[in-house]
Amino acid sequence: MPQQKDIVKIAIQMPGAYPQLIQLDQKKPLSAVIKEVCDGWNLPGPENYALQYADGVQTYITESNRLDIKNGCILRLTKAPGRCAEDLFRGIQSSDSGVRCDSLKELASVSTDVTFAQEFISRDGHLLLVKIVEDSHESNVIMTHTLTGFMELMDHGIVSWENLSTVFIKKIASFVNAKPTDASIQQVSLDILESMVLSSHSLFLQVKQEVTMERLIAHLQVTNQQIQTKAMALLMALLQTAGDSDRQVCLQSDVNKEMIAVYLLQNIIHSSGSVQDEMAHYLYVLQSVTLNHLEPRMRTPLDCYSQEQRDILHGLRQAAFETESDNSLSNERRRSLCAKEFKKLGFSNNSNPGQDLVRTPPGLLALDTMFYFASRYPDAYSRFVLENSSREDKHECPFARSSIQLTLILCEILRIGEPPSETGSDYHPIFFSQDRLMEELFCVCIQLLNKTWKEMRATQEDFDKVMQVVREQITRTLSSKPTSLELFKNKVNVLNYSEILKLRQTERLHQEETLAPPVLELKERLKPELLELIRQQRLNRLCQGTMFRKISSRRRQDKLWYCRLSPNHKMLHYGDVEEDTDSPAIETLQEKIPIADIKGLLTGKDCPHMKENKGKQNKEVLDLAFSITYDVEEYSLNFIAPSRTDFCLWTDGLSVLLGREMSSESMRSELEILLSMEIKLRLLDLENVPIPDSAPVVPKPPSNYNFCYDFSQTEQ
């Protein structure tokens, strides 16, 4: 007799029949179980049938995944995958276009299941779809179903993308390059090309040859958001696969930058600055990939033996000062004059100014930005240097030292040299409206630095303080998402030193309180009650659930799952969901873990999924990762939180369920806010305010309720 743990109680459905409630013996062969179910409905030929989940992702039940079946699951008796594959294979070759269309539509739906995909591909069904595309005689509807089914089959990785013919690749590219055409065909064609590019370098070269960068950017200007997103995904795949030289040829084109700027104006700025999460990520990656071409210069120190670099340094000196002809001076006089002028320029080592640029970062990038400013805005450059040369030594703002530090600050703010994060979406709209953003920002900010230096009446000892204020001015201004360099310039100049002080003071008043001993005692007494309030809020938030994204290199939008806590706080329910799902019912989430089985909570680099990808994850992903272990720590459920807020909510909530103390920064912040509000309420001045000893008498109910508004009536 089988043990109790090998028995699973499930329901099996079939159209037109009453459901069967059975006790599934997991040790019994699946074929025997299906035969018993068929016998229960008097169905001949049990080998032609199979079981699959009735809800959610309707996956076929196989010997390899049958242990995933849980108590209470609802299964459905349906055609076996082999029989289904054979029927669809024949239907696709039918002479009746209606039968072909229906077969291809069903194929696109069932191909998401790997068991069916293996059966269909074993019959060379994918080659049949390739031939349909190559011939291109079918209607748009049939072609859409064909391409969708093909993409789903290939997504399982059963066959290689490199086996595809050149004719097929050219045909898919022609769908993308076509001007106005069926939107559904273009969407899935863009998807297919993205997968090709990511699969191998040879396919990348073929796709790059067939699809132009200008054509992809043109897709960003259409009104269809799906085409916009998939075009940006392919654009990103091409840029990330391309070498540095090819990437910069594509991105430094004025036409390309202008067209991306048009997209932003039409689709982001005019819609209150909002953008799809997926598109925001691609824009962030595009910005990151483009700015990272500056990394080699940032990592390279100045070479004192390079004649070219020495000429640039002397060019900075000559552009700032009108000097006598070097030929008329002795060597000693020339060296003395140069040292004096380099000192006025703000170099620490005036006899060998190249030593100031040995530190990396910012390395040669600091020399590039200084030279760009001097050549692009010569009047502003001369004014900066000469103005500070006329001040007292201790009050002059050193141009070179300030430029080197400012370049480093801009590199940190723009994250130059950091690989794009898997989940990042913090892009700057100004990037898409401005060529040479780094250099142009430097030109604005170096003049801002001089202005702030004067406002602070700074001396050389105040250098670090001034740079902190300038960093804050730049960061606060960029956080407001300016859409042009001119707008950035206006905003950052309004945010002067006095405004920074006011903002700091306001924030400090919210954060700091000088409390007397009795108030501190009151604060300690209030803490337990408020902590319990936060605990309840965390548990309620877990009951609502959260959508999590599975991290992968492509097709990110198709890999989502949802997790939520049961109302009785005894079970954690989770399962895969579609992108457009808002808040799935708890019954639709197939998987569950009893809270009593959870053994531990891990965060950051201690998580199993972070250890598996050691060296591939950056700090941002590590800060959002957490896992729970269960069943004597043999299994784990791994999460990447959508945001730091969700990370804090979930780790706090899970800690409460495990009987541990909450420790997130969000909890500490909320506790301080609640304590501050509660203390202020209790310390309100209640002088001359009578407080009754008993509750007021409840008045009699009204004679009628005609004054109540009837919300059931629809307003016209």
Which 8-state DSSP code applies to residue 300?
A: -
**pLDDT tens-place string over residues 606-648:** 888 887 766 556 677 888 899 999 876 678 888 999 888 899 9
- Sequence length of the chain is 716
Distance CA 287, CA 283 (A): 6
Beta strand residue intervals within 557-648, DSSP E:
560-565, 571-577, 591-594, 598-603, 625-630, 635-640
Query: What phi and psi, each to the nearest 5 degrees, are found at residue 603?
Result: -135, 160
Give mean pLDDT, residues 182-208. Answer: 89
Query: Please, are residues 274 and 323 in contact by the beta-carbon 8 Å criterion?
Result: no
- In 512-594, where does DSSP find H-type helix? 517-544
Count of CB atoms situated within 10 Å of the CB of 244:
12
427 DSSP 8-state letter? -
346 neighbors 384 (Cβ within 8 angstroms) = no
pLDDT digits (tens, 9 = 90+) for 353-410: 888 888 888 999 999 999 999 999 999 999 998 888 877 767 788 899 999 999 999 9
Q: Are 186 and 223 in contact (CB under 8 A)?
A: no
Q: What is the pLDDT of residue 254?
A: 44
Residues 6+ apart with CB under 8 A from 160: 199
Question: Looking at residue 242, what is its pLDDT?
Answer: 67
pLDDT (0 to 100) of residue 614? 61
Mean pLDDT of 420-425: 76
Q: Give dist(CA 555, CA 562) in Å, integer.
A: 17
Across the range 307-331, mean pLDDT stands at 77
pLDDT tops 50 at residue 714: no
Checking if the pLDDT of 327 tops 70, the result is no
Residues 6+ apart with CB under 8 A from 366: 357, 403, 404, 407, 408
Provide the token pair at 633: 């720590």
pTM confidence score: 0.52
The pLDDT of residue 221 is above 80 = no
Q: What angle do CA 463, 465, 466 make, to 5 degrees?
A: 65
DSSP characters for 214-245?
A: HHHHHHTTSS-HHHHHHHHHHHHHHHHHS-HH
* d(C-alpha 712, C-alpha 698), whole Å: 29
* Joined tokens for residue 410: 């801009």
pLDDT of residue 616: 57
Compute the distance between CA of residue 357 and CA of residue 353 in angstroms, rounded to an integer: 8
Tell which phi-psi region holds residue 484, choosing left (phi > 0), alpha (psi between -120 and 50) or beta.
beta
**239-248 mean pLDDT:** 60
Indicate whether 554 pLDDT > 80: no
Tell me whether strands 7-13 and 598-603 are parallel, antiparallel or unpaired. unpaired
170 Cα distance to chain centroid: 32
> Starting from the edge strand earliest in sequence, which strands make up the sheet with 571-577, in order?
546-549, 560-565, 571-577, 591-594
Taking all residues of the chain, what is their mean pLDDT, rounded to a whole number? 83
> What are the strands, taking DSSP E only, across 584-663?
591-594, 598-603, 625-630, 635-640
What is residue 50's three-state secondary structure? Answer: strand
Q: What is the mean predicted confidence (pLDDT) over 73-86?
A: 92
Domains, the chain, ordered by start: 7-79 (3.10.20.90), 83-297 (1.25.10.10), 299-324+331-502 (no CATH), 528-668 (2.30.29.30)
More confident of the two residues 47 and 241: 47
C-alpha to C-alpha distances, 27 to 9, 34, 218, nearest whole angstrom? 14, 14, 58
Q: Which has more confidence, 134 or 215?
A: 134
Q: Which helix or strand (DSSP H or E) is residue 24 part of?
A: strand 20-25
The pLDDT of residue 272 is 36
